[in-house]
Each structure stands twice: as structure tokens, then as C-alpha cells.
Amino acid sequence: MAARTRRIVLAKVGLDGHDRGIKVVARALRDAGFEVIYPGLWLSPEAVVRVVAEEDADWLGISLLSGAHLILVPKVVELLRQQGLHHVRVVVGGTIPEEDVAALLACGVAKVFGPGSSLSDIVRYFQDVDSHASR
């Protein structure tokens, strides 16, 4: 029986309206064979978690350029836990200052992709984690 294609929800949370980067990442992940769901801009944490549940996602990628990552990301992670979605792994990308990475990891984020992260590094991360999970 073939393994199921990993489903990744990529979300813009809050009032951040810059979506060029997330669309480029979505295309790269699709080209690499992942199923990507992008529900659009200006989502509340509750809406993001609802999409993750409805889409039966394995991953949630949150893109933030607004500076609200230390407020919005922990809220989303907590809502995932409250909804019993403990299996969903979370990554964050965007303009995340290096000094904030530890706090995001401590709240349950698996990986942070900051400014300058390459598409190949992002795709390779998901492929590597996916290959370890299928063993």
C-alpha cells in the first residue's frame, strides 16, 4: 500500500497581507510532490485550525511578516492542542528575529525559516522529515 501524500496547510495569520513568499513556497512544495492547501490572507488563529482539521493536514506552515509571531503562533499551537490535533507539526517562516526563535520552538514549533531561507532548504526539510517518518 502506497504512503499517503503529506498534506501541508500554508497560512497567513493576522493582518499580514504580503503573500508573494508563501505562494512561492507553496509552488516549490507542490513541485516536490506535497499536497499544499493555501486558504488565503487574513485568517484568525481559529480559522487556521479549522482549515487544518478539515483538510486532515499533517503540517501547518505559518507565514508572518507582521511582527506578531510571538502572539499568534502560540495561540495557533494551543488551539491545535485543544482540538486534539497533536499530530500536526508546525513550521513558521517570515521575518522572525533570531532572538525569537527559541520562544517559538519552546511553544511547540518544529522549525523556523527566517529571512534568507532558500526554497531548496525548505523543501529538503520536509522531504527529510517525511522520509524519517515513513521508516
What are the cell numbers at 64?
508572518
Residue 61 pLDDT > 80, yes or no?
yes
Query: With b meaning 16 or more CB within 10 Å and e meaning fewer, what string describes 54-75?
Result: eeebbbbbbbbbbeebeebbbb
User: What structural domains does the chain harbor?
Assistant: 7-133 (3.40.50.280)
Strands (E), the chain: 7-12, 35-37, 59-64, 89-94, 111-113
List pLDDT tens digits, range 21-39. 999 999 999 999 999 999 9
Which residue do the cell numbers 499530530 mark? 87
As a whole-number percent, the residues of the chain with pLDDT over 70 amount to 95
Cα(29)–Cα(122) distance, integer angstroms: 8
CB neighbourhood size of 122 (10 A): 20
Q: Please state the pTM of the whole predicted model.
A: 0.94
pLDDT of residue 135: 47
